[in-house]
Amino acid sequence: MSDHVHVVLATDNTYAPWAGVLISSILDTRPDGAMEFHLVEQGVSTDNRERINALGAGRLDVSIHWYTPDPCAFSSFPIKRYGIASYYRLSIASILPASVKRVIYLDCDVLATTDIGDLLDDHDPAHMLAAVENIGGPTSQLCKPGRYFNSGVLVINLEAWRARRCEEKLLDLMREQGDTFEYPDQDALNVLFHGEWQRLPLRWNVQPGVWSRYEKKRFSKTGYDADSFEAAVKRPGLVHFLAKKKPWVFGCFHPFRKLWLSYLDDSSWRSLKPQPESIWGRAVHYMNVASHAKEMRRARYLSQQSSSGCVRAP
């Protein structure tokens, strides 16, 4: 178990409660061990900031730091639907103090189901960047199948990143090719680190497409084998609510929706529990028996394992 873990999240005010849920899940699954959270923010309200700070208040070994970069530095980049905050991950090395040498970057639509310190044990420090392949999500034409990684979970060796001026190269790529990128910052990272990133075990970024591939035994077009898929569904480390599978949206079906909602319910943001827009919307949701059954079946893969390392069952 790694003893000192640095986690970086980037958020605006809309995503701040989801960042809070993620932090709650990380603290819950890592009850001991020093942790520092680095929140790179834009427009987070004082109220949300205080609520997030309160999450770490009971732990002497946990600290939370805030950074507010100048958004003007990114105003020339294509924003599309992702917003400026999605560029902040490209600039982590200059935003964070030089004393921070290695970080885990997480999207706010992630949930921790295992001690996140174990992720660092799977990282080979010789690699500047470690990630999990993009599975079943939107694909890009930039890389061959199996070679394109998802940028929602990254382990970054910041020391090497700074020495090799990666940030400058990434921002140049964004300026020159950003308009042609479908997923701007994820594409820029994939172009720069093509063939050089360390492939992490699939269980560190369990994307929605993992369950269907596991069930249909369709592994061949990915860089992972059957055992990796089995570990991902039975012993997930970090679950990623990728693309449209957001647990804060009413009507979402996902094997870990209930676990995510239980953290929301225990938090000071419980009033944000997703509600249907109409009685009809609620009826349609509950009548969707097949999707409920699929969600429950997939959630049960985990509970079959007694030593899953998961503090709460979904």
Give, for 165, the enclosing helix (H) or strand (E): none
Count Cβ neighbours within 10 Å for each residue of 273-310 and write b for 16 or more, e otherwise: eeeeeeeeeeeeeeeeeeeeebbeebbebbeeeeebeb
Stretch that binds Mn ion, among 7-15, 150-158, 169-177, 198-206 (CB under 5 A): 150-158
Nearer residue to Mn ion within complex by CB, 62 or 259: 259
Q: By CB under 5 A, is residue 107 in contact with Mn ion?
A: yes
The dihedral through the CA atoms of 58, 269, 252, 44 has a sign that is: negative
User: How near is the Cβ of 32 to Mn ion at its closest, in Å?
Assistant: 28
Please answer whether residues 88 and 55 qualify as being in contact, where contact means their C-beta atoms are separated by less than 8 angstroms: no
Closest CA to 298 of 210, 203, 202: 210
Question: Distance (Å, rounded) from C-alpha 32 to C-alpha 15?
Answer: 26
User: How near is the Cβ of 240 to Mn ion at its closest, in Å?
Assistant: 6
Please answer whether residues 200 and 130 qualify as being in contact, where contact means their C-beta atoms are separated by less than 8 angstroms: yes
Q: By CB under 5 A, is residue 41 in contact with Mn ion?
A: no
Please answer whether residues 294 and 208 qualify as being in contact, where contact means their C-beta atoms are separated by less than 8 angstroms: no
Could you tell me which residues are beta bridge partners of residue 131?
Answer: 199
Q: By CB under 5 A, is residue 12 in contact with Mn ion?
A: no
Stretch that binds Mn ion, among 50-58, 68-76, 106-114, 303-311 (CB under 5 A): 106-114
User: How near is the Cβ of 241 to Mn ion at its closest, in Å?
Assistant: 7
The helix/strand count (H/E) of the chain reads as 12, 9
Contacts of 116 (CB under 8 A, 6+ apart): 5, 7, 26, 29, 30, 104, 237, 238
Stretch that binds Mn ion, among 91-99, 134-142, 151-159, 300-308 (CB under 5 A): 151-159
DSSP letter string, 70-107:
-GGGGTTS--TTT-GGGGGGGGHHHHS-TT--EEEEE-
User: How near is the Cβ of 110 to Mn ion at its closest, in Å?
Assistant: 7
Helix (H, G, I), strand (E, B), or coil: what is residue 146?
A: coil
User: How near is the Cβ of 111 to Mn ion at its closest, in Å?
Assistant: 11
Residue of the chain from 12, 41, 109, 115 that contacts Mn ion (CB under 5 A): 109
User: How near is the Cβ of 106 to Mn ion at its closest, in Å?
Assistant: 9
Residue of the chain from 20, 117, 152, 236 that contacts Mn ion (CB under 5 A): 152
Stretch that binds Mn ion, among 82-90, 96-104, 147-155, 168-176 (CB under 5 A): 147-155
Size of residue set near Mn ion by CB under 5 A: 3
Nearer residue to Mn ion within complex by CB, 62 or 85: 85
State which residue has the least CB distance to Mn ion: 107
Stretch that binds Mn ion, among 10-18, 79-87, 103-111, 224-232 (CB under 5 A): 103-111
User: How near is the Cβ of 199 to Mn ion at its closest, in Å?
Assistant: 19
Nearer residue to Mn ion within complex by CB, 62 or 87: 87
Binding site for Mn ion (CB under 5 A): 107, 109, 152
